[in-house]
Structure 1
């Protein structure tokens, strides 16, 4: 009985050509730049989509993109230490709500404090300085 040879299954880590990809970008001072994302374990990854519909379904209609080949995207990512390429990710975290964060920040500014509260802090601070000076002077 002769051994039957089976072709080896490709390893998941082996690279395969993905063709032209829709790559998410963002505007910057020098034009558009490629967006990089995080894997569930926290590593950085370049992301590409095989169709504009898949990009829109995952990242929304407002996400601009460019067309790049898989080797070109890897070449852009390599100098930044990004060696992983994720093709057609299905999930993404929702965008942060900047307006809610800005409202919280404005509510916590000094200009929103009542003048009596600010005065109480000044008086308390001045009393602490005088007490320290009394200890030093004797």
Structure 2
């Protein structure tokens, strides 16, 4: 059986970029560990970037990273039950904006009664 050429295949044969990826990491007890994220539906995913520029644009210049090939990253996260790999994520939620504390409502001035309070009720009788 002959291998399909990329032009004939409805989906490309190379689903992921070739070569090492830039993988965000965090410090751990034994060195560094790959950072895991969540998809919009809540599934855990490993994230990698095709360039340092893309990683820094998305996670900031202070984000530590290592270079790993896609199969190595999958092998690293598979024991944790992470089967999804997101390369160059495009959509992120914006950082929450600071909200000014609400303006306190001025207390309502109480109006004292004009005179002594009287009740126009008949006296109760005990039968």
Please, what is the CA RMSD of the aligned residues?
2.5
TM-score (norm 2): 0.63
- Return closer, same or farther for 1:25/1:94 CA change in 2, 3 Å cut-off: farther
- The structure with the largest alpha-carbon Rg is 2
Distance 2:70 2:49 in 1: 10
Q: Distance in 1 between matches of 2:60 and 2:83?
A: 25
Which residue is equivalent to 2:89? Answer: 89
| Residues 59 and 92 in structure 1, CA contact (< 8 A), matched pair in contact too | no
Q: CA deviation at 1:16?
A: 2.3
The aligned counterpart of 1:29 is 29
Mark the runs of 5 or more structure 1 residues left unpaired by the alignment.
1-5, 97-138
TM-score normalised to the size of structure 1? 0.58
- Matched residue count: 91
After TM superposition, where is structure 1 displaced by more than 4 Å over at least 4 residues in a row? 93-96
Gaps of at least 5 residues in structure 2 are 1-6, 97-127
CA drift at 1:30: 1.0
